[in-house]
C-alpha cells in the first residue's frame, strides 16, 4: 500500500471529534449516558427513563423559593391541599432546585436547554445554561410565568434538559478554577427574593388600559382645543370686521358732525346780523317814541297854560 493511500485511510479513520487535526469535545450519548445515570457517576439520583439518546431531562425538586412564603419551602412537608395551591402566578418569578445532583469531572462540561413544552405553557426558564467542568450540586433554575394563567409547581415534573461533553486533554485547564458547590439557594438570592414583589400581568394590562384611556382623553382634549382655537380665530375675524365697520361709521359720524358745525356757524353769523339789524331798528323806534312823548308833553303844557289864563 502506497504512503498516500495509507494517509488517506488514516484520515478517514479519525474520530468524529477530531476535525482537521484539531481536538473537539465529544458528546456523551446512548448507552454511555444511560450507564452514567444507572451507576450515578456524574448524575446523582437520576432516573434512567429520563436518559434519551443525546440528553438527560432533570426534574423539579421539592425545594422551592417563592416570594410569597418569605423563605424556601420543602414541598414534601406540605399537605396535598397546600401542594395543589402551589403555583407560579402570572408575572411572577419562582426559583427551584433540581431533584438530581451533578458531579462533573474536570474533563466534562454540560449544556442546558429549556423544555419546549414549558415554553408552550408560558414558562420562561432563567439561569446560566453552561455548566463548567468540576461542578458539584443541584441545578438552580428560575421560572418566569409570562402567561395570564397560573402554572402549577409539581415536584418530579421534567424541568430542563442537559447534554454532556467530554473535553480533550488539551482543553482541560492545568489549574481548574474552584467551582461553587450548590446544594441550596444562595444567600444573595434569598436576600433578593425577600424584597421581591411580582408584577401581575393583570396589573400591567390595567395600566396599559388606563394609559389607552388617558391617551384617548388627551386626543379628545387636543381635538376640542383645536376646535376652540378655530372658533376663537373665527370670532377674532368677526370682531375685527365689526371693529372696521364701527371705525368707518365713526369716521362718517365725525364728518357729519363737522359739516353740521359749519352750518351752525353760518346760522349763528346770520342770527348775529339779524340781531344787529333789530338792535338798530329798536333804537330808531325808541328815538321816535321819545320824540313823540316830548311833543305830547309840549302840547299838554300849552293847553294847560291856555286854560289857566
Q: What is the mean pLDDT of residues 200-214?
A: 63
Enter the pTM of the model. Answer: 0.59
Strand duo 26-27 + 43-44: pairing:
unpaired
- Domain spans, the chain: 11-199
Q: What is the mean pLDDT of residues 229-241?
A: 75
pLDDT digits (tens, 9 = 90+) for 60-111: 999 999 998 879 999 999 999 998 899 999 999 999 999 999 999 999 999 9
The model's confidence at residue 198, banded by pLDDT at 50, 70 and 90, is confident
Q: What is the mean pLDDT of residues 139-167?
A: 96
pLDDT at residue number 77: 94
| Stretch among 1-15, 43-57, 134-148, 291-305 having the lowest mean pLDDT | 1-15
More confident residue, 264 or 28: 28
CATH 3.30.470.20 for domain 11-199, yes or no, is no
pLDDT digits (tens, 9 = 90+) for 237-264: 777 777 777 777 767 766 766 666 666 5
Q: What is the mean pLDDT of residues 224-244?
A: 75
pLDDT at residue number 169: 80
The three cell numbers locating residue 18 = 477530531
Which positions ≥6 away from 130 have C-beta within 8 Å? 109, 110, 111, 112
Highest mean pLDDT among 2-6, 189-193, 297-301: 189-193
Amino acid at each position: 500500500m502506497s504512503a498516500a493511500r495509507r494517509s488517506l485511510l488514516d484520515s478517514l479513520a479519525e474520530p468524529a471529534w477530531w476535525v482537521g487535526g484539531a481536538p473537539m469535545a465529544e458528546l456523551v450519548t446512548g448507552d454511555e449516558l444511560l450507564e452514567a445515570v444507572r451507576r450515578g457517576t456524574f448524575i446523582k439520583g437520576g432516573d434512567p427513563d429520563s436518559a434519551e439518546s443525546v440528553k438527560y431531562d432533570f426534574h423539579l425538586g421539592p425545594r422551592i423559593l417563592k416570594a410569597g412564603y418569605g423563605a424556601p419551602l420543602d414541598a414534601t412537608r406540605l399537605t396535598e391541599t397546600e401542594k395543589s395551591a402551589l403555583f407560579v402566578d402570572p408575572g411572577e418569578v419562582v426559583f427551584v432546585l433540581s431533584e438530581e445532583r451533578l458531579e462533573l469531572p474536570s474533563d466534562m462540561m454540560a449544556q442546558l436547554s429549556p423544555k419546549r413544552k414549558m415554553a408552550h405553557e408560558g414558562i420562561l426558564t432563567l439561569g446560566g445554561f453552561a455548566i463548567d467542568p468540576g461542578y458539584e450540586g443541584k441545578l438552580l433554575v428560575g421560572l418566569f410565568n409570562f402567561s395570564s394563567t397560573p402554572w402549577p409547581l409539581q415536584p418530579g415534573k421534567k424541568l430542563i434538559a442537559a447534554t454532556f461533553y467530554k473535553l480533550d486533554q488539551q482543553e482541560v485547564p492545568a489549574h481548574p478554577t474552584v467551582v461553587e458547590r450548590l446544594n441550596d439557594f444562595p444567600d444573595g438570592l434569598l436576600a433578593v427574593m425577600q424584597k421581591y414583589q411580582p408584577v401581575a400581568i393583570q396589573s400591567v394590562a390595567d395600566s396599559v388600559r388606563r394609559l389607552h384611556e388617558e391617551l384617548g382623553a388627551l386626543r379628545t382634549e387636543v381635538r376640542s382645543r383645536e376646535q376652540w382655537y378655530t372658533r376663537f380665530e373665527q370670532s377674532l375675524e368677526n370682531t375685527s370686521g365689526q371693529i372696521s365697520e364701527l371705525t368707518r361709521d365713526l369716521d362718517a359720524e365725525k364728518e357729519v358732525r363737522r359739516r353740521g358745525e359749519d352750518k351752525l356757524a353760518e346760522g349763528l353769523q346770520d342770527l348775529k346780523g339779524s340781531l344787529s339789524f333789530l338792535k338798530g331798528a329798536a333804537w330808531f323806534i325808541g328815538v321816535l317814541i321819545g320824540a313823540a312823548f316830548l311833543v305830547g308833553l309840549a302840547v299838554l303844557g300849552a293847553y294847560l297854560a291856555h286854560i289857566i289864563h
